[in-house]
Amino acid sequence: MGVYPRISLADARAHHGEMVKLLAKGIDPQAAREARKAEQETLSSNTFEIIAREWFARQQPGWAEGHYDRGERAFERDIFLRG
């Protein structure tokens, strides 16, 4: 949950209440947390950039090298998000 004072007593109690509800339903809180984490990782691995790069890789054999390079650079420059 966290260390006091980062997590307030009210938040700790709310979190505890959620865990008790899961246990009452027969759900292991740790397993539920791991499932949520796995789902988030799956969602983050389906970004536009990853899918676009996969598509470019599949198209590459049928394209001239220059066409592939220009397209990839344009996506990197204009479309893909950079932090």
Residue 2 lies inside a defined structural domain of this protein? no
Q: Mean pLDDT in the chain?
A: 87
CA distance 58 to 30: 39
Domain total of the chain: 2
Q: Can you tell me the mean pLDDT for 13-38?
A: 91
Share of the chain above pLDDT 70, in %: 96
Tokens 């799956």 locate to 42
User: Residue 11 corresponds to which tokens in the numbers above?
Assistant: 């938040």
**Residue whose C-alpha is closest to residue 68's, from 59, 76, 77:** 59
Residue 19 lies inside a defined structural domain of this protein? yes
Share of the chain above pLDDT 90, in %: 47
Q: Is 82 a residue whose pLDDT tops 80?
A: no
CA distance 31 to 45: 21
56, 31: one domain? no
Residue 60 lies inside a defined structural domain of this protein? yes
* Structural domain harbouring 34: 9-43
List pLDDT tens digits, range 34-66.
998 888 877 777 788 888 999 999 999 999 999
User: Distances from the Cα of 74 to the Cαs of 7, 32, 64, in angstroms?
Assistant: 45, 41, 16
55, 73: one domain? yes
